[in-house]
Structure 1
Amino acid sequence: MPKIFFIACFILSQVLLSSSTNIECNFQGSELYPVIGYVYLCSIDTDPSITTQKSAVINTIDGLATPKRTYNFVHGFFASEKTIHFFPKGLNNFFRHIEFIKVERCGLKVIHQSDLEPFVNLLYFDLSYNSIEVIEEGLFSYNPKLKAVGLWESKIIHIDSKVFDSLNDLSCIWLDNVPCIGFNACEDDEKVRFGIGKVKKQCMNSKFLGFNRDVEELSNDAKILNSGAFNGKLQRFERKLNDSKLSGLFYLREKIDRLKI
């Protein structure tokens, strides 16, 4: 029992130590962006590595907003050429009125619905030039006001067929040089609708969907099977995944790692 308690305390201490992060903002007006115009934003000045761990939570922000423009005036978050493997949590604790998020060339590996949940007023969302491979079902469920989505020059192999259906105000979408598709459309409703139709036809990856269903089944099995039976089933699944062309897909690997905890 003492040994188990010591191990548990050690793991908890490591999580706590790795969960906080600090960012430094250069508060400034943005360039002119389609559908949103100019934005007063936090542009990241932090030295390259920001969030390389899933548990990273922003606990302090350095940088001076002007006396007349407090954090309440900050409507945007911008980062370029930093190291952001996972979208940082806690941003909304400082900036409660975010309408603009642009994280480009940062090595972002994955984006989840839970990452975007705090940003209910989000209008402009751009994660171009990153390593994202999957746009999951319901990604924008908490962001119904979105007008512009940019994902160009990404590694996307799967986009959920319904992910854009709830975005009635979407007027710009950029998906150029994406493995499953290539098109841009902005402020032309007919072209936007046509592009979304192409996404539905070309970006549903059946192999990914099959493996994703298997992972969901494993998640349910973890609750009912004994550890020996579950671990055996998990190992067989991993061998199957390793033999496939999706063996390096981070989105699935992340889910599998959670099952091993």
Structure 2
Amino acid sequence: MLKIIICIFCVISLISCNIIVDYIDFETVEADPAMKSVNISLELENDEIQTKTVDLSCTYKFFTDWWAIDYAYFCEQNQAVKIVDADTRVAKVKGTHKELKDNSDVRGFRVNGQSMAYLPKGLNKFFDNLEFLAIWTTDLMEIHSEDLAPFTKLRILSIWENKIEYLEKDLMKFNPKIEYIGFGKNRIQYVDPNVFDLLTRLHTLHFDGNDCYSKQVAGDRIGVLRMIDEMNEHCNSNEV
């Protein structure tokens, strides 16, 4: 009889203990600000992962004096954007086209005075016939061959007044039609010696206002070749 009483007491005690533990755990989770903070942080992190996209807004224009291109229909990005992540993708492009025009007619894309540390990916999904790309005063920090790879028809590359510090090997290997390059007013310290090797049509090169070298040549293929030789002497002694 004593054994039965002891067993019943033990069972009741265990049940009581479990109830108390469950209650304490529940209260701890509900009341602990640290746990709530962790949950909120995880939710925010997931939201950030899901929202690495940007919407662009175009004012469509015609330009009649764009260096190598006589008459160009292009998108002027007109809505303030902020791109701080290298994996940011273009989600959509807004804007009203000129009469009888659509995305396939767009030959150029220009951004001026926006906050764009990196080029957004996927622009070619909207504009696959780009011949000129102009990124001006955006605090652009880097540019890589994969950024330019989709634009095989590119003739003009103008990356003016940004924060580029180096031009990597094979940067323009997918863009052999380039005729005009502008890297003026950046912070370039290093240029790989093969960067311009495939650009047999290059006749204009602006490199003024950079750290390792400052000069520009316009409309002179021979002058550009001489300039590249000089640049190699000054800009590839220290690899980045």
| TM-score interval for Structure 1 and Structure 2 normalised by the shorter chain | 0.7 to 0.9
Q: 2:110 aligns with which of 71, 78, 87?
A: 78
CA distance in 1, matches of 2:63, 2:142: 26
Residue type matched to 2:71 in 1? Answer: Y
Percent identity of paired positions between Structure 1 and Structure 2? 24
The 3-state SS of whatever aligns with 1:120 is coil
Query: Bigger radius of gyration, 1 or 2?
Result: 2
Q: 1:158 aligns with which of 183, 190, 208?
A: 190
Q: Deviation string for 1:185-221 (max 9, x for gaps)?
A: 1211221111011111111142xx2xx5xxxxxxxxx
Q: CA deviation at 1:66?
A: 2.1
Q: 1:32 aligns with which of 36, 48, 65?
A: 65
Q: CA deviation at 1:10?
A: 7.3
CA distance in 2, matches of 1:164, 1:8: 46
Task: List runs of 5+ in structure 2 lacking aligned partners.
Answer: 1-38
CA distance in 2, matches of 1:134, 1:153: 13
**Following TM superposition, where does structure 1 have runs of at least 4 consecutive aligned residues deviating by more than 6 angstroms?**
6-10
Alignment of 1:120-159 (within 5 A): 120-159=152-191
When the two structures are superposed, what TM-score results if normalisation uses the length of structure 2? 0.79
Task: List runs of 5+ in structure 1 lacking aligned partners.
Answer: 1-5, 213-261
Residue type matched to 2:53 in 1? Answer: S
1:14 is aligned to 48
Contact persistence 1:172–1:186 (CA under 8 A): yes
Q: Deviation string for 1:12-47 (max 9, x for gaps)?
A: 553222x11101100001251222223111001112
**Matched residues, number:** 201
Change (3 A) 1:12 1:205: farther
Q: Deviation string for 1:118-168 (max 9, x for gaps)?
A: 000000000010001011111001101110100001100111111001101
Q: CA deviation at 1:86?
A: 0.3
Residue type matched to 1:194 in 2? Answer: R
Residue type matched to 1:32 in 2? Answer: D
When the two structures are superposed, what TM-score results if normalisation uses the length of structure 1? 0.73
The 3-state SS of whatever aligns with 1:127 is strand
Contact persistence 1:32–1:38 (CA under 8 A): yes
CA RMSD of aligned residues (A): 1.8
1:167 is aligned to 199
